[in-house]
Chains A and B, each alone.
Chain A
């Protein structure tokens, strides 16, 4: 059995002054080297789950936490200052908040985290250029991070975390402002990271892409963990719609066809599965 890299045990979290908890009694056990898609309606607690796992919920938001969050078997609060941020990279939902503002060019902005890690200058430039190529922001390296379009900023925010090459990545809606091709290429990058053995928690509304790329899906509703399991198994459940979740278009198309008397024998969730069924029919 693979190692449990992140475990949540009966986690309940309440923001300061909030009348009810944003996360309720959540228990999860995540394996190393997998890509987890976290889904749920707006306000269901996805971002709160992210900040709870990286320890920000208690450290910065200063809300109250019951239960425990274990990273590699050790409580996240028991790690030394800095240790957690080296191990875990967190890409914020709002890219604007991610940009440090202390540097004048995109290049320096991305290198900033590496400086803090003490990476040698020669290595630094190589890593920055490499990640800039992957995220398609090479042309922006000498620009001011505040003089960019929304989607460009989002790419810079993501690149500034990816460049640190942390073991665990928690990425909160990294493609919300990206064009469709850009979105797909970010999913490809994330898949490569997973193949390199990294563990990725990805919050996304783009269910069609999660269907293609995620290993497992975790579903939140109203602060509760209501479902999880292998991607295909979770995403063919029509009742997810009642929990405010969009199902993959492909599964909706085939489900509707089945209702109308065209049964292809299975409900696909990925394009490849769908094409196979269509061709064999």
Chain B
């Protein structure tokens, strides 16, 4: 069990640039949360503090009852798995299988049998079972992203952080991601996902955190967020089609998804 708490956290990079300023957040074990917001808002910087790849310059980050400053990155990353925005920052093995087995073998030092079981399950879930002997660097970028995800799944942390897994994914890729997230949620895992894909966020998450200019500016349900024009504007987000069309047809502010829009139009005849 690892509830996440960011208490008044700021982060300044070595060159003196403050990327995150006084952010407070709490995410309970088992929650599914999306983080949305403008480029450079501080999303990646924030989540890297959750798995201790970066330590706050101010404030504190708690993972369960652990204050991250008292632990190493290796210790915290057993509880919080982070999938990099650029998979090439993460992948370094010559085959997909070796990459995926690395965490269970080297970091967790599990017995061979368990390594095999976990790796196979991770490959299955990410749709990579048929590509386990391939060189990740000869796979398309979108598939390399799944290799990076599989590697974290094999390590089986309590909390998963996916940094823009939707980037460059096709229809099938988005469906696979959705399936992975639901499956992890069912197992009681926490899933935190940064994305710029509004439709994906609406359909996959019940809670959305919006960041802009180093801060969290809104935290709410998709319904709340996507009817709040001011927040959308500040965070460089856009109003979904369903909301726009519902306004055009004067159907009120209760419609957020395409399915709701269709239902309402049909209902009104």
Segment from B70-78, B109-117, B135-143 that makes contact with A? B135-143
CB distance from A56 to the nearest CB of B (A): 16
Say whether A178 contacts B39, CB under 8 Å.
Answer: yes
Say whether B262 contacts A260, CB under 8 Å.
Answer: yes
Q: Is B15 an interface residue (CB 8 A)?
A: yes
Question: A22: nearest residue on chain B (CB-CB)?
Answer: B140
Question: B242: nearest residue on chain A (CB-CB)?
Answer: A253
Q: Which of A47, A96, A149, A184 is close to B44, meaning CB atoms less than 8 Å apart?
A: A149
Residues of A with C-beta under 8 A to B86: 94, 96, 150
Q: Is A274 an interface residue (CB 8 A)?
A: yes
Residues of B with C-beta under 8 A to A249: 199, 241, 258
CA–CA, A148 and B43, complex, Å: 12
Say whether A205 contacts B168, CB under 8 Å.
Answer: yes
CB distance from A65 to the nearest CB of B (A): 18
CA–CA, A186 and B76, complex, Å: 39
CA–CA, A150 and B145, complex, Å: 14
Segment from B1-9, B99-107, B231-239 that makes contact with A? B231-239
Residues of A with C-beta under 8 A to B38: 179, 181-182
Say whether B262 contacts A149, CB under 8 Å.
Answer: no
Q: Which of B40, B170, B245, B258 is close to A205, meaning CB atoms less than 8 Å apart?
A: B170
Q: Is A173 an interface residue (CB 8 A)?
A: yes
Say whether B266 contacts A94, CB under 8 Å.
Answer: no
Q: Which of B88, B143, B241 is close to A271, meaning CB atoms less than 8 Å apart?
A: B241
- Interface size class on chain A is 35 or more
Interface residues of B in 216-258 (CB under 8 A from A): 235-238, 241-242, 244-245, 248-249, 258
Residues of A with C-beta under 8 A to B198: 180
Q: Is A41 an interface residue (CB 8 A)?
A: yes
Q: Is B29 an interface residue (CB 8 A)?
A: no
Residues A177 and B167 in contact in the complex (CB < 8 Å), given A43-B143, A47-B140: yes
CA–CA, A257 and B236, complex, Å: 30
Say whether A176 contacts B168, CB under 8 Å.
Answer: yes
Question: B239: nearest residue on chain A (CB-CB)?
Answer: A180
Say whether B236 contacts A155, CB under 8 Å.
Answer: no
Say whether B39 contacts A271, CB under 8 Å.
Answer: no
CA–CA, A15 and B135, complex, Å: 14
Q: Is B37 an interface residue (CB 8 A)?
A: yes
Residues A147 and B13 in contact in the complex (CB < 8 Å), given A41-B172, A47-B140, A177-B167: yes
Segment from A67-75, A225-233, A240-248 that makes contact with B? A240-248
CB distance from A144 to the nearest CB of B (A): 7
CA–CA, A179 and B86, complex, Å: 16
Say whether A42 contacts B173, CB under 8 Å.
Answer: yes
Q: Is A14 an interface residue (CB 8 A)?
A: no
CB distance from B6 to the nearest CB of A (A): 19
Residues of B with C-beta under 8 A to A182: 38-39, 236
Question: B135: nearest residue on chain A (CB-CB)?
Answer: A17
CA–CA, A260 and B267, complex, Å: 10
CA–CA, A275 and B241, complex, Å: 10
Residues of A with C-beta under 8 A to B85: 150, 177
1/0 per residue, CB under 8 A from B, across A242-281: the answer is 0011100110110011001110000000010011001100
Q: Is A151 an interface residue (CB 8 A)?
A: yes
Q: Is A152 an interface residue (CB 8 A)?
A: yes
CA–CA, A274 and B143, complex, Å: 34
Q: Is B196 an interface residue (CB 8 A)?
A: yes
Query: Considering the complex of A and B, which 7 residue pairs feature the smallest CB-CB distances, nearest first?
Result: A151-B39, A181-B236, A42-B142, A179-B236, A180-B238, A176-B167, A41-B170
Sample (26) of A-B pairs whose CB atoms are under 8 Å apart: A42-B143, A42-B168, A42-B169, A42-B173, A43-B140, A43-B142, A43-B143, A93-B168, A96-B86, A96-B88, A149-B39, A149-B43, A150-B86, A151-B39, A151-B196, A173-B168, A177-B85, A177-B167, A184-B238, A205-B170, A246-B174, A250-B241, A253-B245, A256-B262, A257-B265, A278-B245
Chain A interface (Cβ within 8 Å of chain B)? 15, 40-43, 47, 93-94, 96, 143-144, 147-152, 155, 173, 176-184, 205, 208, 241, 244-246, 249-250, 252-253, 256-257, 260-262, 271, 274-275, 278-279
